[in-house]
Amino acid sequence: MKNNYLYIGALTVLSIFSSCEEEFLDRPPQDTLVDANFFKNNEQVLAASAPLYSVVWKDYVDKASWALGDLRGGTTFRAWGFRDDVLFNTTEVSTSNNEAYRAFFIVIGQSNTLIQNLNSYAGAEVTQDVKNHAIAEARFMRATAYSYLVSNYGPVPIIENNIALLNNSAVTRNTVESVWEFITRDYLFAAANLPATALQPGRLTKWSAEGMLARTYLTRAGVESTGGTRKQEFLDKAKEYAERVITMSGKALLPNYADLFRYPYDNNNESLFEQQWVFTTSYGYANTMVSQITFDNSIANGDGWGGDLGASWWMLSLYDGLIQQDGAKPGFTLDQRLKATYMLPGASYPEISRTVRMEGTTEITEPLVFPAPASNADQSFASIKKYVVGKAKDLGGNATTQRYPNNTYMLRLAEMYLIYAEAALGNNTSTSDGKALGYFNAVHMRAGLPVFEGPLTWNDIFEERTKEFAMEGLAWYDLVRLHYYDPQEAYTIINSQDRGGLYLITPDRMPNPTAWTFTKRGELQRMATANSGNFFLPIPAAESSQAPSLRNPPVPYEFKD
C-alpha cells in the first residue's frame, strides 16, 4: 500500500514547485522557498524533497511520456490526435515536445534549488545522512530528467545553478558525451548516499540508482562506440550493475505480470522507482494520465479520452501467434502481457466496472468485458489497459475526473534482467551465455511463454523489451540507444513498422474468445519515415527564440572535479 508521507509533506511545501515559467532555462523558479527556518530538522528536509516524486513530472507523465515513448516508438497508434508523433514528424511546436521539454527543465531547476537550499539552510538538527539522502534524491531526479533530455534532443545545456543564469543570457548546449557523463556522476552520487532499504515506502534506494546506472552504461556503450562497436568497458559495467540489483536488492519479479497494473500495485517488490501519485483535491499530485488513455467514460470518472488510442499493427504482430497470415486467419497468443497492456474484444477485467445502458434510460454497472465492434463497424481499436484502473468504486472511492491514485513506473526489476542479457550479448550477433538466457527467460516465461532455447540475438531482446514495457514510455528510448551506434538500423526498424491502428478486430466468440481475426481498414497513413533529419526532436520554438544561443554548436562541459 502507498504511504502518504510523500503527499502530506509535499502539500506543505507545494509553493516550492508551483512555478511553471516559460523561460525556465534562464530564470529560477519565482516561488522558491528560501526560508532558513524551513530546513530545521530531518522531517522538513524529507518533506522538501517529496514533490520531486510527482508534481514536477506532471507535464511529462500526463501525455508526453506515451506520446514520445510509445507513439513515437511505434508501439501505440492514435487516429485523430498526436499524428505528428505517430508519423515521426514531431516539430518544434508539437504539444508533446513542448510539454516534455518544459517538464524536464522544471525537474532540473527544482532539483538544483533543493540542493542549493540544503547546502545553505540545513539546520543543526538535520543529520548528515538525511541531508545527503535528500541531495541524492535531487541528483537522481536531475540525472533522470537529463537522460530524457539528451535522448530526445541530443546536446542540451547542463545547468547546476539556476541563479547563475540570471546574469548570463547566453545558454550554451553541451555535448552528448558531456551530458551522459554528468548523468553518470549524479547517479553514482545517489548510489553512494541512498540507503539499501527505503526510508519510507516509495523513497529511492541505492538499488534505484544502481538500476539507473545499469541503464545508463548500456546506453553510453553506444554513445562512445567506435565504428559501430559498442564500448566494452561500459557493457561490462551495465552487466555488473544489473546483476547487483538482481542478486542483492531483495527485489523479485511478481509472479503474475498483470498484477503489476492491478490497483493497488504501488511500490510492489518488482518496483525500483515509481512516480508517486495520490487521490487528492490537488491536481498536481494526482495521476491524470489515466484520464488521457482510458477508452471512454463507461469505465472512467467523467473522463476517458483515449478512444482513438490503441496498439499499432506492428505492436500486435510481435505477440507470437496473434496475427495469422496478415490477419486473414484467426489468431491467438499465449503471451499474457497482451491482455494486461491492450484490450481486445471479449477480454474480461473483473477488477474494472463498466456502466452499460440498457433499454430506455436504465443503466447497470457490471465487470468490464471489452466490447466487440458493432456488426456494421469499419474499424475498432485494441485500447489501452495498462495503468487503466477503473471507476471510483473500483478504487475504494479514491478517484474522480483527472484525479487517479495509481503510480507510474520509471524503473522495474524486469529491465535489469533484459539489460544483463543485452550487455552479455554485447557486440556479438548472438549469444548462448547461460546466465543471459536464464535472465531473459525469467521475463519471457513470466509472460506465460515456453522456454526460449537460444541462441539470443539483439532483435530477440528488443522485441522482448517492447512487449514487456509497451505503454511504459520506453520503446522510443530503446531506439535511441540503438541509434547511438547503428543509426541506419534504427531508421530501418522505424521505417518498416506498420504504425497503423485502423483495423477491425473480430472475436470468434463473446466473451472470452479463443481467437481474433484482424482486418486492416482506413485511409490514414500507416508508415513513417525516419532519417538523420528528424530522429531527434527540435528544441521547442518558444525556447530557441528566447535563447538563440541554443542554436550554437555544443561544447564540452567543464567538470569541477
- pLDDT value for 362: 84
Model confidence over 497-510: pLDDT tens digits?
Answer: 999 878 999 999 99
Tens digit of each residue's pLDDT (9 = 90 or more) over 361-404: 788 999 999 999 998 898 999 999 999 999 999 999 999 999 99
Q: What is the pLDDT of residue 35?
A: 57
Say which amino acid occupies 290. V
What is the reported pLDDT for 39? 92
Residue 34 has pLDDT above 60, yes or no: no
Residue 179, φ and ψ in degrees, nearest 5: -65, -40
76-78 and 342-343 beta bridge pairing:
unpaired
Q: Give the range among 104-108, 238-242, 278-282, 332-336 with minimum mean pLDDT.
A: 278-282
- Torsion angles phi and psi, residue 13, rounded to 5: -115, 30
pLDDT per residue as tens digits for the range 413-424: 999 999 999 999
pLDDT in tens, 465-519: 999 999 999 999 999 999 999 999 999 999 999 998 789 999 999 999 999 999 9
Lowest-confidence pick of 184-198, 249-263, 268-282, 513-527: 513-527
Give the C-alpha separation, 499 to 525, whole Å.
8
| Contact of 39 with 75, CB cutoff 8 Å | no
Contact assessment for residue 215 and residue 146, using Cβ atoms and an 8 Å cutoff: no
pLDDT score recorded for residue 100: 97
Q: Which fold has domain 5-73+85-284?
A: 1.25.40
pTM: 0.94
Domain ranges of the chain: 5-73+85-284
Find, among 178, 181, 143, 184, the residue nearest to 157 by Cα.
Answer: 178
* Best CA proximity match to 453, nearest among 470, 438, 465: 438
Tell me how far apart the alpha carbons of residues 262 and 270 are, in angstroms, rounded to a whole number. 14
Q: Of 169, 132, 146, 115, which Cα lies nearest the Cα of 42?
A: 132
**Mean per-residue pLDDT, 31-38:** 55
